Amino acid sequence: MKILVVQDRLRSGGTERQSILLARAFRAAGHEAHLLTFRPGGALASTAADLAPRALQPFDIHLDWFAPGLISAARQAAPDIILCMGRMANCYAGSLQRAVPRAAVVATMRTGKNLPWLFRRSLQRVTHVVANSHAARAHLVAAHRIAAEKIDVIHNSLVFPADPTGRATSERSAVAGALRASYQATDATTVLVNVAMFRPEKNQRELIALAASLPTAPAWQLWLAGDGPERMACVRLAASLKLGGRVRFLNFQRDPAPLYAAADVAVHASTSESLSNFLIEAQAHGLPAVAYAAQGVDECFIPGQTGWAIPSGNRADFHSALIPLFTASAEERARRSAAARAYARSTFDTARQVTAYLELFEQLRTTAP
């Protein structure tokens, strides 16, 4: 098959990582797959060098929605499948379906944000839709009246899978230990971690506020990894709350696996999700999770066993779920870690998700008019 993956820019988000992973996996499976972006560059561009992605903008004019020559590029590629990833690409999905009728255009629902009108129109016009969670599929049916049979649920794939046994090599253990030491986290320190772009909906401000009301003992630290427009505001907030020694800002991480290996608990306060890449990766590395219950969050873990979904804004319940993890016994931590790894690796296994996509594509190709 000829597969065209469309993404507006290779910024540092989870959807962008999924676009790169899928394009690479489709090629590895023997298909002709190409990655087409609107804007050149981006934090993840260097990680996709082997894919030689084509950018429509000759130079970056900083407009995510501007896709000059998209239709002609799609026609020239003559794909069997066009997979649209991200909100901007999905806004063009309906136009792509009309312009390249022989291709099956597949829209994707990977966000909890309000959908632009063009996105909503595209959902009606495309051949098929992939939602990355059952909650997202239900939302499409209820809120946007998309026929249930037009939607398949294919979860996100693990970009950074860990050793399924949980056994770290001595090298990885040394890296994790050195990372903790660099931030003055001792063996007795519980390290809370969040990996996400600093955008308003990711709500790192709330994590800092939650941390400010945690007891000072036993010792803890909050590590916030990522970049984005809200980062400096969060730095200022942590300073104003006198949390400089406990809240650490670790910048964008091309590979966050060392953070997961060094941390103890994943925390997330996002107000807009469809399925959280951060939470499934943290689970794959054996971290229990406490998160606000945005759309799809409770599909990222085993509720009440490896993770807790808390009503958004309920800080008391968030603390009630989080604090017992500080003092959990070694046996309990090992049990939860093993369950988290097993769940994540079976539910979000890359080979499983890629196979689901390819089987869907083959079905759409063979049933196309």
The contacts found for 57-64 with CB under 8 angstroms, 24 or more apart, are: 63/39, 64/8, 64/9, 64/38, 64/39, 64/88
- Choice among 91-100, 150-159, 167-176, 305-314 with the minimum mean pLDDT: 167-176
Contacts 24+ apart (CB under 8 A), 335-338: 336/286, 336/288, 336/305, 336/306, 337/166, 337/286, 337/287, 337/288, 338/166, 338/286
Q: Which residue ranges form the domains of the chain, and what is each CATH number?
A: 2-157+349-367 (3.40.50.2000), 170-347 (3.40.50.2000)
DSSP 96: H
Backbone angles phi, psi at 232, to 5 degrees: -65, -35
Residue of 184, 243, 183, 180 whose CA lies nearest to 208 = 243
Element (H, E) at 190: strand 190-195
180-188: average pLDDT: 93
**pLDDT over 90 (residue 277):** yes
Outline where the chain has alpha helix (H): 14-28, 70-77, 87-91, 93-99, 117-125, 134-144, 170-182, 204-212, 231-240, 257-262, 277-284, 315-326, 330-347, 350-367
Amino acid at 270: S
Cα-to-chain-centroid distance, residue 257: 14
The three-state secondary structure class of 330 is helix
Residues 120 and 145: their CA atoms lie apart, in Å, by 10
In this predicted structure, what is the pLDDT of residue 174? 80
DSSP 8-state symbol, 222:
E
Q: Collect all residues with Cβ–Cβ distance below 8 Å to 334 and sequence separation of at least 6.
A: 166
The closest of 194, 205, 236, 181 to 322, measured between CA atoms, is 194
- Residue partners of 13: CB distance under 8 A and separation at least 6: 197
Average pLDDT over residues 132-154: 97
- Partners of residue 34 on adjacent β-strands: 4
Q: What pTM was computed for the model?
A: 0.91
pLDDT for the residue 165: 57
Q: Is the pLDDT of residue 168 over 60?
A: no
- Share of residues in the chain with pLDDT > 90 (%): 91
pLDDT digits (tens, 9 = 90+) for 208-244: 999 999 998 999 999 999 999 999 999 999 999 999 8
289-292/265-268 β-pairing? parallel
- In terms of pLDDT, which residue wins out, 266 or 170? 266
Lowest mean pLDDT among 154-163, 251-260, 319-328: 154-163
pLDDT of residue 171: 60
What per-residue string of b and e applies to 196-232 under the rule 16 or more CB within 10 Å gives b?
Answer: bbbbeebbbbbbbbbbbebeeeeebbbbbbbebebbe
| Structure-block tokens of residue 76 | 């020239």
48, 42 Cβ separation under 8 angstroms:
no
Sheet arrangement for strand 81-84:
54-55, 32-37, 2-7, 81-84, 104-109, 128-131, 151-153
Q: Which residue has the higher pLDDT, 79 or 161?
A: 79
What average pLDDT does range 72-93 have in this prediction? 97
Tens of pLDDT along 313-356?
999 999 999 999 999 999 999 999 999 999 999 999 999 999 99
Peptide bond connecting 218 to the previous residue in cis, omega within 30 degrees of 0: yes
Cβ count near 29 (within 10 Å): 15
For 39-49, what is the mean pLDDT? 95
What is the Cα–Cα distance from 320 to 135, expressed in whole angstroms?
26
pLDDT band at 197 (very low <50, low <70, confident <90, very high): very high
> Over 70: is that where the pLDDT of 164 sits?
no
Q: Is the pLDDT of residue 170 over 70?
A: no
Distance CA 310, CA 109 (A): 23
Distance between CA atoms of residues 313 and 130, nearest Å: 30
Look up residue 362 and give its amino acid.
Answer: E
pLDDT of amino acid 368: 63
Mean pLDDT (the chain) is 94
Residues 43/227, Cβ–Cβ less than 8 Å: yes
